[in-house]
Structure 1
Amino acid sequence: MRKAYNITWIENLHIVQTAAKWKSKNLLTSEQEALVKTKFPEHFYRPGLFVKSGLFIFGLIGCSFFAGFLSIFVADMASENTFSVVSLIAAVAYFFFLEHLIKNNKLYHSGIDNALLYAGIGAAMTPVFLLFEGAGFAVYCMLALIILTVATLRYADLLTTLGCFLALFALVGDLMMKFPIGKALLPFALMILSAIVFSQVRLIRNIYYQECKMLLQGLCMVVFYLGGNYFIVREGNAMLNELHLPISPQIDFAPLFYLFTTAIPIGYIFFGLKKHDRLFLIIGLFCFGFSIYTYRHYFSPLTPAQELLVAGALLITIAASAIKYLHTPKFGLSDEQDGRRKLANLEAILVAQNLGQTPAEKGFEFGGGNFGGGGAGEVY
């Protein structure tokens, strides 16, 4: 599918941003950074956070006024079919202006384009819920998944990516809940689906979807862990079976979920340290903390005050020891902020410029090697 934003400018933007990081680490001089900006120009309109937020709100208000204006002409013919037609007309108008502004005003997730995208998706999905009323939750999830997937492939928006993820897992969950054995197998189904999605997402090499890829990887890792977490499975089982008891009953395969609760966070942390992957490390630490809460919820002999005291002292000791030990990089790990070189050909470009040569353009590949991908780098 053709992409809405200029892919060359996006590649150049990532190069310039990486050059700025190198400059902050004194790996590049100001002249070299300026050379990179000259060699790789991009002309996107990218306002600051506050301006972007204001433009987003303004865009939503404008879309609302437009929908209200259309409704005036059919106010006397109020019906589901009429409302569906108005919604489709509004959706076409929103996407038309969205494409026009991206092409002519060089927007790149600037607030207005986000607002038009969300308004267009909402207007396009409204007839679906009206015309397929009573079709079932699974049908709604399937139709929403199709619409959101198309929007994500074209616009690479994080919110539509999140919507695709939620729609897919909600669809699988709803289908599993229709069968008695499905409730028992639901945790395993979610873990398997998370692993499948994660493995497929890791194959994405297009820099256009870099942020979407990172988001999906993180979501898959979280769902994979929660699907095997003892607390989530036990309490979720009681809720799904409407067991309103002071203490939820024990679940089947409890030792297996004990193992998952412990092993998955440790695996994340180990892989993150070994591969220098910050995403695995951060999510692994959060999951490890939730695992501690899980065991504490059922088995802790200490009072909350004692637990906080022990946990605080332990965390301070570990953090101080790690900072002191990694002050000098060891095994490719460091306590400094992330300064990884993500684009391998940037170095080649700078060298070639000094030699008066033009390097071959090879594009950008993520996912492995010393410089590219989610887990590469010499210093972490």
Structure 2
Amino acid sequence: MKKAYNETWVENLHIQAQAAEWKAKNLLSEEQLEAVKEVFPEKFYRPGIFVKIGLFFFGVIACTFFVGFLSLFLYDGGSEVRFSMLSLICCVCFLFSLEFLIKTRNLFHSGVDNALLYAAVGAGIVPVFLVFENAPLWMYCLVGLAIVIPATLRYADLLGPVVIFGLLFTVLADLMMKFPLGKALLPFGVMILSAAIYFGSRKNKALYYRECKQILELLSLVTFYLGGNYLVVRELNAVISGLNVSIAPQIAFAPLFYMFTFIIPVLYVWVGLKTANRVLFIVGLLAFAFSAYTYLHYFSPLTGSQEMVLAGVLMIVASVALMKYLHTPRHGISDEQDRKRRYANLEAIIAAHQLGATPDGQGLEFGGGEFGGGGAGEVY
């Protein structure tokens, strides 16, 4: 699908952000940073966070007033069909305004375009709920996916992957909860869908969807772990079964979920370290902490305060020990900042663009090459 925002500017924006990081680490001089901005220009309107929030609320209010103004002429409080027609007309108007502002004002997730996009998607979904009142939940979700997925592919809005993720799992839960066997296999369904989303999102290498992909990866990692966590499965199984008890009964396949509870965090941490994936590593550490809580919740002889004190002491001791152990890089892992990583020859890329040549490969590749800017003085 064709993108709404200028893809070249989006890629240049990413390159500028990377160059700014290198400048902060003294790998680039101020002159080199300015040279990067000249060779890789972008003209998006990107206000500060507070201005962006203000523009978003302004857009929401403007859309609300527009709907109220049109309703004076097109809606008399009668049938739901007329209100559905009003919603569709508003959806078309919002989309037209969104496209017009992006092309003329160079907006890029600036608040106003986000508000117009949400208003258009909301106005497009309203007729579905009005016309098909008694449809099953999974059908509403599928219609929502048919609207949200194209909108996310075109505009790469960060709320899009969150909504898509929620709708997919709602469809899964609604369909599996209809059958006794589906209820029993729901945790495995959650894990399978999470794995499919994770590996599917990693196949997309476009910088245009970089943040959307990161959100999907993070959410899928969390749900994959929670789908196999013993405490979550046991407690939710009692809720689904309608059991009002203080202690949830034992679940089927308990040894398997014990294994998942402790193996998945270890796997996250190990793969995160091996691949230098910070998100995977951090999620693994948090998952490991929750796994420890899961064990203590059912089997701990200590009180809550004693557990917190013991956990704090163990974390401090482990942190100090790892910092001392990794002060000398071991197995490709070090406690130093990532300023020592291998970077591409950005100067060569700039020179190639100025001479009209294109570097080999696609996009800005990291790793390999000689780099000597900003007083680096070594091979990066």
Normalized against structure 1, the TM-score is what? 0.92
Displacement of 1:185 after TM fit? 0.4
1:160-309 to 2 correspondences below 5 Å: 160-309=160-309
Displacement of 1:210 after TM fit? 0.6
Residue 156 (structure 2) aligns with: 156
Displacement of 1:198 after TM fit? 1.3
Classify 1:338/1:155 alpha carbon distance in 2 versus 1 (closer, same or farther; 3 Å): farther
- Whether the 8 Å CA contact 1:23–1:33 is kept in 2: the answer is yes
Residue 14 (structure 1) aligns with: 14
- Whether the 8 Å CA contact 2:39–2:350 is kept in 1: the answer is no
- Whether the 8 Å CA contact 2:12–2:42 is kept in 1: the answer is yes
Larger deviation: 71-80 or 333-342? 333-342
Unaligned runs of 5+ in 2: 369-380
Larger deviation: 78-87 or 92-101? 78-87
- Whether the 8 Å CA contact 1:63–1:119 is kept in 2: the answer is yes
Residue 29 (structure 2) aligns with: 29
| Alpha-carbon distance between aligned partners in 2 of 1:340 and 1:171, rounded to the nearest angstrom | 46
Q: Secondary structure at the match of 2:76?
A: helix
Residue 310 (structure 1) aligns with: 310
| Alpha-carbon distance between aligned partners in 2 of 1:344 and 1:165, rounded to the nearest angstrom | 35
| Alpha-carbon distance between aligned partners in 2 of 1:89 and 1:341, rounded to the nearest angstrom | 53
| Alpha-carbon distance between aligned partners in 2 of 1:357 and 1:61, rounded to the nearest angstrom | 47
- Whether the 8 Å CA contact 1:98–1:116 is kept in 2: the answer is yes
Deviation string for 1:159-192 (max 9, x for gaps)? 0111111101110111101111000000001111
Classify 1:124/1:43 alpha carbon distance in 2 versus 1 (closer, same or farther; 3 Å): same
Residue 128 (structure 1) aligns with: 128
Deviation string for 1:174-226 (max 9, x for gaps)? 11011110000000011111111211111101111111111111111111101
1:37-116 to 2 correspondences below 5 Å: 37-116=37-116
| Alpha-carbon distance between aligned partners in 2 of 1:338 and 1:85, rounded to the nearest angstrom | 55
- Whether the 8 Å CA contact 2:141–2:170 is kept in 1: the answer is yes
Aligned residue identity for 2:4: A
Aligned residue identity for 2:214: M
- Whether the 8 Å CA contact 1:32–1:350 is kept in 2: the answer is no
Aligned residue identity for 1:266: V
Displacement of 1:71 after TM fit? 1.3
- Whether the 8 Å CA contact 2:75–2:83 is kept in 1: the answer is no
Residue 358 (structure 1) aligns with: 357
- Whether the 8 Å CA contact 1:13–1:42 is kept in 2: the answer is yes
- Whether the 8 Å CA contact 2:39–2:353 is kept in 1: the answer is no
Classify 1:247/1:85 alpha carbon distance in 2 versus 1 (closer, same or farther; 3 Å): same
Q: Secondary structure at the match of 1:133?
A: coil
Task: Name the % identity.
Answer: 55
Q: Secondary structure at the match of 1:78?
A: coil
| Alpha-carbon distance between aligned partners in 2 of 1:359 and 1:342, rounded to the nearest angstrom | 21
| Alpha-carbon distance between aligned partners in 2 of 1:361 and 1:42, rounded to the nearest angstrom | 22
Unaligned runs of 5+ in 1: 372-380
- Whether the 8 Å CA contact 1:21–1:339 is kept in 2: the answer is no
Normalized against structure 2, the TM-score is what? 0.92
| Alpha-carbon distance between aligned partners in 2 of 1:151 and 1:311, rounded to the nearest angstrom | 45
Aligned residue identity for 1:187: P
Deviation string for 1:13-66 (max 9, x for gaps)? 111110111111111111111111110000000111100010011110111111
RMSD: 2.0
| Alpha-carbon distance between aligned partners in 1 of 2:339 and 2:103, rounded to the nearest angstrom | 34
Displacement of 1:331 after TM fit? 3.2
| Alpha-carbon distance between aligned partners in 2 of 1:193 and 1:178, rounded to the nearest angstrom | 18
- Whether the 8 Å CA contact 2:47–2:110 is kept in 1: the answer is yes
Displacement of 1:72 after TM fit? 1.4
Displacement of 1:325 after TM fit? 3.2
Larger deviation: 341-350 or 222-231? 341-350
Classify 1:62/1:340 alpha carbon distance in 2 versus 1 (closer, same or farther; 3 Å): farther
| Alpha-carbon distance between aligned partners in 1 of 2:137 and 2:124, rounded to the nearest angstrom | 18
| Alpha-carbon distance between aligned partners in 1 of 2:351 and 2:320, rounded to the nearest angstrom | 40
| Alpha-carbon distance between aligned partners in 1 of 2:205 and 2:347, rounded to the nearest angstrom | 20
- Whether the 8 Å CA contact 1:9–1:44 is kept in 2: the answer is yes
Aligned residue identity for 1:180: P
- Whether the 8 Å CA contact 1:205–1:365 is kept in 2: the answer is no
- Whether the 8 Å CA contact 1:45–1:108 is kept in 2: the answer is yes
Displacement of 1:344 after TM fit? 4.3
Classify 1:39/1:187 alpha carbon distance in 2 versus 1 (closer, same or farther; 3 Å): same
Q: Secondary structure at the match of 1:335?
A: coil
- Whether the 8 Å CA contact 1:16–1:37 is kept in 2: the answer is yes
Aligned residue identity for 2:116: L
Displacement of 1:352 after TM fit? 4.5
Q: Secondary structure at the match of 1:76?
A: coil
- Whether the 8 Å CA contact 1:188–1:227 is kept in 2: the answer is yes
